Amino acid sequence: MPGTSGTGHFILAPDLEPISFDDLPLGGEWTTRRRTISETEVALFSAVAGDFSPLAIDVAHGGARFAPPALLVAVAIGLGTMDMPVPSVAEWEWLNWKFPRPVKAGETIYARWTLTQKRPPVGGAPTAIVVWRVDVHTADGALCAEGEVGASVRRKAQSARPAATDSTSAPAPTPRRRRGRRQPAASPPAETPAVVVEATPSAAPAEKTGAPRRRRRRRSRAGAGSGANGPAPTGNPAPEAAPSPAPAAAAPSGLPSGALSRVIKRLRRT
């Protein structure tokens, strides 16, 4: 029997403690006790849910109210918590129901639970999904509701911990390195010899083209005194200097006037 401990905490009996995912028997079936739906329960549930539809508050259907579908689901789950192994539910996942027959106030119902699925846990998750099929019948065996209930149920700590440890401690696989040809080590670049560029003398300016200029020979006065047909002077020629013609007044008095004019013309011609 449940009771309280010295610290005030509520203690469940061993047969009422929640069952983990690993201990739930797949394919197990449980039939619950029976329960009669009363007029008071229909009225209270309609008030709590705020359901004031004619189906819930009208008594014109044979003098009795219809039980709301949500009330049937709630009663079926409540009956299951008393007459089947209580799973350690972390959270409810979904409900999928059909109601082929209405239930009136004053009828008696019961539920049959069947564990149809135990989905494998994902990695090291601490919970896993289980699915029950629930059939609700009246006392005469008529099916009035059927559906599925999915829940996330906690796993045993020792079952969830190794998987979680493996998933966290396993080192990530390192990518394999592709073997390739070993490339030779790069040799240092060869030093290029320094090129010394010597300054070349600039080319000599091009000589002026054209006919060579005739050098004027300076005749000595002695040669001039011997006449135009006298012998040519010997020795090195005089430096290149254009002598000015001697004036007639400076000409020696011993030469004839005709010879002197011819000498002057020759000098001018040269």
Residue 253, pLDDT above cutoff 60:
no
If you average pLDDT over every residue of the chain, what do you get?
74
Q: Please state which of the ranges 117-121, 173-177, 233-237 shows the lowest mean pLDDT.
A: 233-237
Mean pLDDT of 186-193: 56
pLDDT at 215: 64
pLDDT at 266: 82
Residue 103 near residue 164 (C-beta atoms within 8 A): no
Q: Please state which of the ranges 9-13, 90-94, 128-132, 147-151 shows the lowest mean pLDDT.
A: 9-13
Residues of the chain by 3-state class (helix, strand, coil), percent to 5? 25, 20, 55
CA distances from 258 to 254, 255, 265 (A): 12, 8, 11
- Tens of pLDDT, residues 24-46: 999 999 999 999 999 899 989 99
Residue 110 near residue 35 (C-beta atoms within 8 A): yes
Q: How far apart are the first and last CA of the chain?
A: 162
> For residues 23 and 228, which has the higher predicted lDDT (pLDDT)?
23
CB contact set of 101 (below 8 Å; sequence gap of 6+): 138, 142, 143, 144
Which 3 state secondary structure label does DSSP give 149? Answer: strand
CA distances from 220 to 226, 237, 246, 264 (A): 10, 10, 12, 13
Ranked by mean pLDDT, which of 8-22, 136-150, 220-234, 243-257 comes out on top?
Answer: 136-150
- Tens of pLDDT, residues 43-84: 899 999 988 888 777 776 667 788 999 999 999 999 998 999
d(CA 17, CA 69): 30
Residue 128, pLDDT above cutoff 80:
yes
Burial 63-91 (b: 16+ CB within 10 A, else e): ebbbbbbebbbebbbebbeeebbebbbee
CB contact set of 126 (below 8 Å; sequence gap of 6+): 90, 154, 155, 160, 164
pLDDT at 127: 94
Q: Please state which of the ranges 52-61, 143-152, 240-249 shows the lowest mean pLDDT.
A: 240-249
Mean pLDDT of 209-226: 54
pLDDT at 224: 43
Residue 187, pLDDT above cutoff 50:
yes
pLDDT at 246: 47
Which 3 state secondary structure label does DSSP give 220? Answer: coil
Q: How confident is the model at residue 124 (pLDDT cuts 50, 70, 90)?
A: confident
Q: What is the pTM of this model?
A: 0.53
Q: Which amino acid is at 112?
A: R
